[in-house]
Amino acid sequence: MTTEEFIQALSERGINLTPEQVNQFEMYYELLVEWNQKINLTAITEKKEVYLKHFYDSLMPLWMMPLDSYDIQLCDVGAGAGFPSIPLKIVKPELKVTIVDSLNKRINFLETLVSELGLSEVNCVHGRAEDVGQNPQYRAQFDLVTARAVAALNILSEFCLPLVKKGGHFLVLKSARAEEEIEQAQKAITVLGAKFEKQASELLPIEKSERNILLIRKTLDTPKKYPRKAGKPAKQPII
């Protein structure tokens, strides 16, 4: 997907990028490639691939599963190189974004990226999701928590749902096999105080690979014991 194809594809979805936003995506790509030579951010570095599989992919929730308001507090867990939160922030500048990642080198990249792109109200937090989820500063503070390609849904739910405020949403970006993960995660979602709400599927343009977006609503307070200590959700997931 070329830059021009990216702009056109978003326009067809009702998202008309300003020249400043187009420039921000260009700078994002350049910084990603530059930093990727120093630290492992992504295996995808070819420009057309980055625009398709990272930038466009991160923005698909805007039309696949739009929420009522985007003037909200968003937390992106395990964002890595900033997906999906930074593309969403570029397109929706009113978002107030917190990014959580366990690797300090990635946080350094994200802080540089946020500064270079001139983005405001973006807070980069270095920490394990399990620890951040028990921190009163972040626990149950977010209207929307996102995660993309981080872990199986039952594990991911324990990482993310404690951060969602009651009435808020957990939005998960997955590729294929989403139905199987939903079934395996039903107990975890319930135990953590939430309900599976809906699923939307679409093919990524050009390569036609499947993308699934899952929406889970927080209905109750998460029990205090969750998330458990760092490492435990992955080793002993709720099943």
Report the distance separating Cα 178 and Cα 148, nearest Å.
Answer: 13
Pick out the residues of the known binding site for S-adenosyl-L-methionine: 78, 83, 129-130, 148
- 232, amino acid identity: K
Do 219 and 166 meet the contact criterion of CB atoms below 8 Å apart?
yes
Report the distance separating Cα 237 and Cα 239, nearest Å.
Answer: 6
- 177, amino acid identity: R
Report the distance separating Cα 228 and Cα 129, nearest Å.
Answer: 10
Q: Give the C-alpha distances (Å, rounded to integers) separating 132 from 2, 43, 99, 162, 228.
A: 37, 27, 11, 9, 11
Q: Which residue(s) pair with 195 in the sheet?
A: 217
Report the distance separating Cα 237 and Cα 164, nearest Å.
Answer: 19
Pick out the residues of the known binding site: 78, 83, 129-130, 148
Report the distance separating Cα 93 and Cα 201, nearest Å.
Answer: 26
